[in-house]
Structure 1
Amino acid sequence: MKKLLLFFLFSTIISLTHAQPIKVMLVTGGHSYDTVEFFNLFDQMSEIEYEHFAQPEANNKIASGLGSEFDVLVFYDMWDDISSDEKAAYLRLTKQGKPFLFLHHALASYQKWPAFEQLIGGRYVEENDNIPEDEWSEYEHDVWVYCSIENYTPVTAGFRELRFFDEVYDNIRISDEVKPLLRTRHPKSAEYVAWENHYNASTIVYIQPGHDKRTYENEDYRKLLLQAIQYLNTSN
């Protein structure tokens, strides 16, 4: 019995030692950000191996089929131009069950593509003459945001409350189909600031905090992102 236990422990150590890093496709573009600190955030995650693509190159690569070679796709872009071939490529990835993590201003991407709102589970509605003004979303910079855990999942495990000095979004659209993960009572923010969604065979996580280096350097934020990536990798 002791030999079996020692063998199990040894095998576990070996498997952990040789565990392959999670391959991440990291997408940016369309919005300014603190680049050095942002990439340092991902450089510090020894559990992942990422390749960065800026828009519009990122969508070109996704249309060529490159997205299927990664374990998790992480989007920190805010992009609006997308061709029919690129839309079809995103939808193919969801049918394959490829997991997505969307961060912060990615919620405002593809304003004229309804399927993207269904995919991400919501939308930041930009000012548009074709949309009533009372439906436009709003933002507020440099505020303290206290977040409570709405649902405990592998993404939110180990947290009781999170606090970020960040930017909040209000009057955003959030699908009734999502599972809320983080909640805030900030008066200028939407109630939910992180959620899990499912579209076709894909699992999707959206995390709203992440405006600049003050959040990137927050240890809880780093842990939250890593846990989201690890969880999404297991859903693939």
Structure 2
Amino acid sequence: MSVIDYQSPLRALVSVKGHPYPRDAFFQVFEDMPGLSYTAVEQPASQVLMTPEHAADYDVIVLYDMPGIDFSTQPPQLVAPPVRFQQKFLDLLEQGKGVVFLHHAIAGWPLWPEYAEIVGGRFLYLPGELRGKPCEDSGYRHEVTYNAQVLAHHPVTLGVEQGFEITDELYLYQVFHDDVIPLLSSDFSFDRDHFYSATRAVSGEMYSREGWHPPSGSHLLGWVKHYRNSPIVYLQMGDAQAAYDNPAYRTLLDNALRWASSTAASEWARERHAARGNGGSTAGATV
């Protein structure tokens, strides 16, 4: 039985719910991290804690949730975030709290355009609009064994092999390349023929691409960026136990938490915000 040391030097708030996941296996990853304690809270209760006042007890926020989509209806209904939550979350980013987004969190709050800007991209369960342009729904592919490549020397990739194999779900999604610093990519083929329609899946037709014609997608699996004064990390990996048990994934997640909560990352984000503003283009930027 694991024992959580609530006096650990690194304290994480972990928000979950909105997408199925193997709960015990997921949290075991955090329990195996030395010097870390975590508090797990499900949506929508976790929204209460995402304010500068209530998040003060935590060094970093981890979002493994997918709020804003009601899958109990057919088709799913999109739900806008409460106005107060939006403002408090932006206040938290203005304060400079580090945030790590994991896997399906990139699909959260589809009716809040700024949320995609915070993360650095968007997974769409339903066709919609992205940056003012029509956009097809995104694609998914379960249990893919592929090779991941490290693209940059960075504290998040420290100790990870240049290339490593992992079995996990992949996304055919939209990434705002000009706003992120790439850390990881996949050698998989990111095109229509290798993925299935998310809209078809949530409509009861798993593994279908009928009538679906998305453009080719991004190879990126992970990146860092800033939003307001906060350092942001996104890791696309992390769907199920095969990924949780992968040593490279565990190292990446551990590194991400420690970097996003660090003074160095906070200063980096503040400098970038002062120079470029929210999510400004990182083209040619150093890591």
TM-score range, shorter chain: 0.7 to 0.9
**Distance in 2 separating the partners of 1:172 and 1:151:** 21
- AA in 2 matched with 1:109: G
Aligned to 2:124: 125
How many residue pairs match? The answer is 218
- AA in 1 matched with 2:163: E
Aligned to 2:89: 90
Q: How does 1:153-232 map to 2 (within 5 A)?
A: 153-159=154-160, 160-188=162-190, 190-232=218-260
CA deviations on 1:121-166 (whole Å, 9 max, x unpaired) are 1111221366888632101011112111111100011221122100
**Distance in 1 separating the partners of 2:182 and 2:129:** 29
Is the partner of 2:61 in helix, strand or coil? strand
Aligned to 2:74: none
Query: Please, what TM-score do these two structures have when normalized by structure 2?
Result: 0.72
Give structure 2 stretches of 5+ with no counterpart. 1-6, 69-78, 191-216, 267-287
Is the partner of 2:261 in helix, strand or coil? helix
- AA in 2 matched with 1:194: G
CA deviations on 1:26-68 (whole Å, 9 max, x unpaired) are 1101111001111111111122111110001001222583123
Following superposition, which runs of at least 4 residues in structure 1 exceed 4 angstroms of deviation? 129-134
Give structure 1 stretches of 5+ with no counterpart. 1-18
**Distance in 1 separating the partners of 2:228 and 2:100:** 15
Does 2:97 correspond to 1:109?
A: no
Is the partner of 2:50 in helix, strand or coil? helix
Provide closer, same or farther for how the CA distance between residues 49 and 20 of structure 1 changes in structure 2, counting only shifts above 3 A: closer
- AA in 2 matched with 1:181: L
Does 2:153 correspond to 1:148?
A: no
Q: CA RMSD in A?
A: 1.9
**Which residue, 43, 48, 58 being the options, matches 2:46?**
58
Q: How does 1:2-13 map to 2 (within 5 A)?
A: none
